[in-house]
Amino acid sequence: MKGLISCRLGLQQRVFPAYRAAFFDLLAQATAGGVSVFSGDPLPDEALGQEGRLAVAQHVKANNLYLGWGPFLTVWQVGISRWLETWQPDVLIADTNPRNASTAAAVRWMRRRGRAVIGWGLGAPPRRGPLSGLSKLFEVPRRRFLSQFDAIIAYSATGAEQYAAVGFPRERLFIAPNAVTPRPQNPPPPRPAGFTDGRARVIFVGRLQARKRVDALLRACAALPEAIQPRLWVVGDGPEREPLQNLARAVYPRAEFCGDRRGPALESLLAAADVFVLPGTGGLAVQQAMSAALPVIVAEADGTQSALVREQNGWLLPPNDDQALVVCLKDALTDPARLRRMGAESYRVVAEEVNLERMVAVFAEAVAYARRHRR
């Protein structure tokens, strides 16, 4: 992919979680002038894990100053002008969240020099909660904020539709599905036609924290008819491990807590499993599971899951619906042949549609468009 982008890129991010490192480095390999990432620290109570480290791209640390609270929270990234002056990007890929007050200043800096600016974000969801009644008041400022971008890259089709709904031109929208793994290099692991030892193997992979809802998965397995109750592998560590182990002893002793597994150790567990389940939010491991040709059961969250999980390869669950999880597991664990077909489709999706290489290719398309049509 070397030389796919023939300029110098700057990426402004509020934070830099570790899972983004592989993408930024691959993007830098494809960019003739290189890539510099400008980002700062998360809020103290954000559970984002460790900061990413780069081998190819450059990382410049911002000093994030958080002001306000709740729906009025904003961030100013101290040092953004100095970073732009030093790096001199031909194209800036900036945060589309209007709460990042630094974005407008960065866009002005680029505009004064006649350079293109692309937004990259999750979407523009309608406001909910106590301020939902004031949505009309926020529409004009949000539309004005988004209009400063030459193009926008959305994480998903859902996000792109949200940007279009608030008035951003569809011809300037690009969809780069939110990938965290490269295209699989190995063939899918072989699996028997039926379940080993007559019981399915269900696997969860992720940090053990409340929002993952592993407790709901334990109770859902316990609610299944005994004949189809699976072996449950809980892979990961975190603050909820001890409470979850206590719950498992009480309601579902078939659960095995495997601890933190990475690399070949994780790959061997995924290869031996029959279905992957994520009952809560998050989902970085979903693509790893799909690369191992596993069907997936995933709770709906921010819309990015729709690019991964379809009727042909898994189930999308309504959020926080414990009964739907029980019904879904019962449906999935009674037909191993269907699980094998769905696993094959999972593998095809990550091999052909949702992977880091495809993500870089969409960024290249957006950069080329923005440079041709910069305003």
Q: Say if residue 129's pLDDT is above 60.
A: no
Distance CA 339, CA 344 (A): 9
pLDDT > 90 fraction of the chain, expressed in percent and rounded: 82
Q: Which residues contact 233 (CB under 8 A, 6 or more apart)?
A: 201, 202, 203, 204, 255, 256, 258, 269, 273
**Whole-number average pLDDT of the chain:** 92
What does the pLDDT read at residue 365?
A: 97
Binning pLDDT at 50, 70 and 90, where does residue 330 land? very high
Q: Which domains does the chain have, with CATH numbers?
A: 9-181+355-372 (3.40.50.2000), 196-352 (3.40.50.2000)
Q: Say if residue 127's pLDDT is above 70.
A: no
219, 248, 236, 48 alpha-carbon torsion, rounded to 10°: 60
C-alpha dist (Å) from residue 84 to 38, 70, 97, 114, 339: 9, 30, 19, 14, 50
Distance CA 231, CA 234 (A): 10
Q: Which residues contact 374 (CB under 8 A, 6 or more apart)?
A: 114, 115, 116, 117, 150
**pLDDT, tens digit, 9 for 90 and up, residues 336-370:** 999 999 999 999 999 999 999 999 999 999 999 99
Distance CA 108, CA 141 (A): 17
**pLDDT, tens digit, 9 for 90 and up, residues 70-106:** 778 999 999 999 999 999 999 999 999 999 999 999 9
**pLDDT, tens digit, 9 for 90 and up, residues 220-274:** 999 999 999 999 999 999 999 999 999 999 999 999 999 999 899 999 999 999 9
Give the N- to C-terminal CA distance of the chain in Å, as an integer: 28
What kind and span of H or E run contains 204?
strand 201-205
Burial of 346: CB neighbours in 10 Å, binned 0-12, 13-18, 19+? buried
What does the pLDDT read at residue 375?
A: 74
